[in-house]
Structure 1
Amino acid sequence: MDRSKQLYEQDATDWQRGMYEDIKTTFRAPIVNWYFRSLTANEPAFTRYLWGQLKPLFQTRAFGRYAVSYRDTVLSAIEDGPADLPRYRRADTALRPAEWRELRGQLATFDVVAPRLALTFAVCDRAMHGDLPDANPEGAPSTAPLPPWLDRDRGQSVTMLEAGDVPGDLSETVDEIRAFHGLEEGLPSIYRCLAQWPGYLEPAWTDLEPILESEAFERGCRDADAVVDGHLEELPYTPRLSPNDLAEQGFDDETIDDIQHYVRAFNRGAVSKVLQTIVTYAATLDAGGERSL
């Protein structure tokens, strides 16, 4: 798996283009994450099979309840801590009105996607390592449809800087962000997006860094992981993604091993804490979604 190899939306054709449209429609956000772009570029047949197994997981009322709980869990832990979460108005950032709308709209898109990616990473990693609990749906929400209004039409299409294009005056901030997330190189998508607006990212990081390094945020991350684990116990069905399931679909051992390492890197690495910071950034601009259902 070459994680730098990606099939971007503008280059997708045929069934891959259709699958990307389906991912965006199902996730209710105008973005196809790097996770799927890289999988599609490296293992297209597997990605088509994977999406067929994953899609229904995002279409139940129980999923909606999970998504808002994930968001609320992170923010509630911070709110219970000693420091207040900063809140910004446009005047605090010196951004023009159009820039302010764009920033909030793109951050809202990440906020929509964050709990969906957290579930994707957990399901793929645990299923492909034989550690996913058997489906045990309880109550109507486990199989009832996702409310059509939830997270609908909240975000805007996302634009990002290349890692090498980050403004020089943000270099110190970027170094601190990498250190916090334990990244030796590269920069997660959310930061390459926010770096387009140094007038927001620099003061936001200065204000948020002590909060993100606090026990309150650590507790929020642990509690959010527990929300994911709890939702896995009530999935409407068990995705067929175990090594044996994949072998029955004709995938060879080398491919399965490569994909196992790929999905674990997302679920167990630095990316997981990035998802919780997304929720935090969105809240600073009042660009976050519902916190209860």
Structure 2
Amino acid sequence: MSDPVPAVTEAAATGETAAIFADIRQVLGVDVVNLVWRHLATIDGALPWAWRALRPLYADGSVAGEAAALRSDLVLPSMPAIRPEVYAGLGLRPNDLAAIRDVLAAYDHTNAMAAVALTALRARLDGRAPGNVEASEPMPVAAAPRIWLPKLLDLSGLRPETAALVTTLNGFGTRRPGAVLASMYRHLAHWPPYLSFAWLLLAPPDSDGRLAGAIDAAQRLAASRADRLLVRLAASAALPPPALAARISAAIEPFAGDVIVKMLVICAFLRRVTA
């Protein structure tokens, strides 16, 4: 399979969908359109409404500001520094590590933003009033250099042992059955030895509960930061018709409610260890 949930591929996008995908890449400063947006594109009217609601908050730096605060407040499982010879022993050359760090940096950039933005959007769709918090403020955001990412690999095209490793890694930190397959692991599958290394890093905190604790804490932090965006959304984003609102909320829930915050923690942890 090419995607774990129904999605419009970037190559297949046409018309308004292609234009929104291009705008997402430009505004977010990334080379790929994350799965949640491509999934929304399969629902008539969902992608235009969702992007129209959130785009101003992305464009004026509000989302980036809340995401930066979220990242700074994350409490990650402890891990000693990894010596360079460990990577050399795995057969990972300097150019491999540079590309792996780019993948982690790209997802670290988008995960925190998606966690706060989509949590706020789902709260708006569900009619929840923001808490007693101040609205997010626009903030200047320096244009980040575009990060090149390798081709997103199909699970079905991987060697069986690599595909099994991707699936196993995706289970770490998962709090519900049938979790969405995180795209980050499919990008990292270009380097199977690194996936094996990631398993060794993640298995202990997953088994002893430290990873789950970090994810639960991150979920609470994301919700708190999202409330500041919700104040703005409640004032600016008119709700779509009830049937469409329910479909968009249901489409966002597996991402905002599970996989994005999970991968926010895991990616930040791997990025720190692989620095």
Instruction: Determine whether 1:277 maps to 2:266.
Output: yes
- Is the contact made by 2:130 and 2:228 (CA closer than 8 Å) also made in structure 1? no
Residue of 83, 87, 93 corresponding to 2:82: 87
Q: Residue in 2 aligned with 1:115?
A: 112
Q: Distance in 1 between matches of 2:15 and 2:163?
A: 41
Deviation readout 1:230-254 (Å, 9 max, x if unpaired): 2233236125798x8212xxxx62x
> Please, which runs of 5 or more residues in structure 2 have no aligned partner?
none
CA shift for structure 1 position 135: 8.8
CA distance change for structure 1 residues 91 and 35 in 2, over 3 Å: closer, same or farther? same
Instruction: Determine whether 1:166 maps to 2:139.
Output: no
- Is the contact made by 2:162 and 2:192 (CA closer than 8 Å) also made in structure 1? yes
CA distance change for structure 1 residues 5 and 259 in 2, over 3 Å: closer, same or farther? same
Quick one: which amino acid aligns to residue 259 of structure 1? I
Q: Distance in 2 between matches of 1:32 and 1:135?
A: 33
CA shift for structure 1 position 260: 2.7
Instruction: Determine whether 1:238 maps to 2:233.
Output: yes
Q: Residue in 2 aligned with 1:266?
A: 255
CA shift for structure 1 position 208: 2.1
Quick one: which amino acid aligns to residue 31 of structure 2? P
Correspondence list, 1:244-259, <5 A: 245-247=239-241, 253=243, 255-259=244-248
Q: Distance in 2 between matches of 1:226 and 1:186?
A: 20
Q: How many residues align?
A: 268
CA shift for structure 1 position 153: 1.5
Correspondence list, 1:41-80, <5 A: 41-43=42-44, 45-60=45-60, 63-74=63-74, 76-79=75-78
Q: Distance in 2 between matches of 1:220 and 1:197?
A: 26
Q: Distance in 1 between matches of 2:129 and 2:222?
A: 12
Instruction: Determine whether 1:206 maps to 2:207.
Output: no
- Is the contact made by 2:166 and 2:186 (CA closer than 8 Å) also made in structure 1? no
CA shift for structure 1 position 19: 1.5
SS at match of 1:42: coil
TM-score (norm 1): 0.77
CA shift for structure 1 position 170: 3.2
Q: Which moved more, 1:197-206 or 1:209-218?
A: 209-218
Q: Residue in 1 aligned with 2:8?
A: 7
Q: Residue in 2 aligned with 1:25?
A: 26
CA shift for structure 1 position 61: 5.2
Residue of 141, 150, 167 corresponding to 1:147: 141
RMSD: 3.1
CA distance change for structure 1 residues 173 and 218 in 2, over 3 Å: closer, same or farther? same
- Is the contact made by 2:76 and 2:214 (CA closer than 8 Å) also made in structure 1? yes
Deviation readout 1:64-95 (Å, 9 max, x if unpaired): 34222322333x3424xxxx255363424312
Quick one: which amino acid aligns to residue 189 of structure 1? S
Q: Residue in 2 aligned with 1:176?
A: 168
CA distance change for structure 1 residues 111 and 283 in 2, over 3 Å: closer, same or farther? same
Instruction: Determine whether 1:100 maps to 2:92.
Output: no
CA shift for structure 1 position 35: 0.8
Q: Which moved more, 1:103-112 or 1:87-96?
A: 87-96
CA distance change for structure 1 residues 147 and 259 in 2, over 3 Å: closer, same or farther? closer
CA distance change for structure 1 residues 92 and 122 in 2, over 3 Å: closer, same or farther? farther
TM-score (norm 2): 0.82
Q: Residue in 2 aligned with 1:289?
A: none
